Amino acid sequence: MAPLSLTTERLLIRDWSVDDAEAAFRIYGNPEVAMWLAPMMQRVTDPNAMRSVLEAWVESAPNLAPPTGRWAMVRRSDNVLVGGLALRLLPPYEEDIEIRWQVSQHEWGKGYATEGARALLGWAFTQDVDEIFAVARSSNARAVATARKLGMEWVGETTKYYGLLLQVFRVRRADFAGPVPPNGGE
Ligand SMILES: CC(C)(COP(=O)(O)OP(=O)(O)OC[C@H]1O[C@@H](n2cnc3c(N)ncnc32)[C@H](O)[C@@H]1OP(=O)(O)O)[C@@H](O)C(=O)NCCC(=O)NCCS
């Protein structure tokens, strides 16, 4: 899909660059973050491996069908990478889309995941999608709280994704209360 650039009050959501490797490694190399991302994504073990991961993300980006993709969240005031967001197909990889969020541990609790995800959902609902899911382990209180703060509705728990017992949240286009970009839907 075409490159994306969304701004919120504090954040810029943009495509990844391989030049993000060092900063991204501080997120995806941190065991406290990575423990919640497995088994979908394993902890990245060094900055070179992070570079390879980003190369793969950058290379695959143009081939992903909107609204799926992976993006960086950068704080506008100092240009620091604070996290990542993704919209990905859920298994069996046919239709249902999940939103994923990752924030640098030093930046947890500042509302970045919620602010960035709200903007991304607003954009996603200008595309050809009517509902978006989020899945999280019950023990991942921050992720569960993020889904709830976004106004996502708990729809149940399941073991059908990734071999884990996961709480499933959903937001529908009609119920979404976040911002829609000015040119959205055109
Ligand atoms: C989940 C994650 C993305 C949240 O990012 P964040 O920027 O800290 O999220 P926000 O600040 O927008 O919201 C976090 C909410 O979690 C809740 N929270 C924070 N600390 C908490 C704690 N110790 N226990 C329970 N809830 C907590 C709060 O409700 C907070 O909202 P508030 O602003 O009303 O206080 C981040 O913690 C992270 O990267 N975790 C590791 C990766 C991960 O788990 N990804 C999701 C996989 S399903």
Indicate the pLDDT class of residue 181, thresholds 50, 70 and 90. Answer: low
Tell which atom from ligand 1 comes closest to the C-alpha of 101.
3
Tell which atom from ligand 1 comes closest to the C-alpha of 110.
11
The first and second tokens of residue 39, run together, are 């088994």
Q: How far is ligand 1, taken at its centre, from the CA of residue 51, in Å? A: 26
Q: How far is ligand 1, taken at its centre, from the CA of residue 110, in Å? A: 9
Decide if domain 5-175 falls under CATH 3.40.630.30: yes
CA-to-CA distance for 59 and 169, rounded, in angstroms? 30
Q: Reply yes or no on whether the pLDDT at 170 is more than 60.
A: yes
**pLDDT reported for residue 92:** 87
CA-to-CA distance for 158 and 136, rounded, in angstroms? 10
Q: How far is ligand 1, taken at its centre, from the CA of residue 146, in Å? A: 6
* Segment 95-138, tens digit of pLDDT: 999 999 999 999 999 999 999 999 999 999 999 999 999 999 99
* Segment 67-91, tens digit of pLDDT: 999 999 999 999 999 999 999 999 8
Q: Reply yes or no on whether the pLDDT at 185 is more than 50.
A: no
Q: Are 132 and 118 in contact (CB under 8 A)?
A: no
DSSP state of 173: G
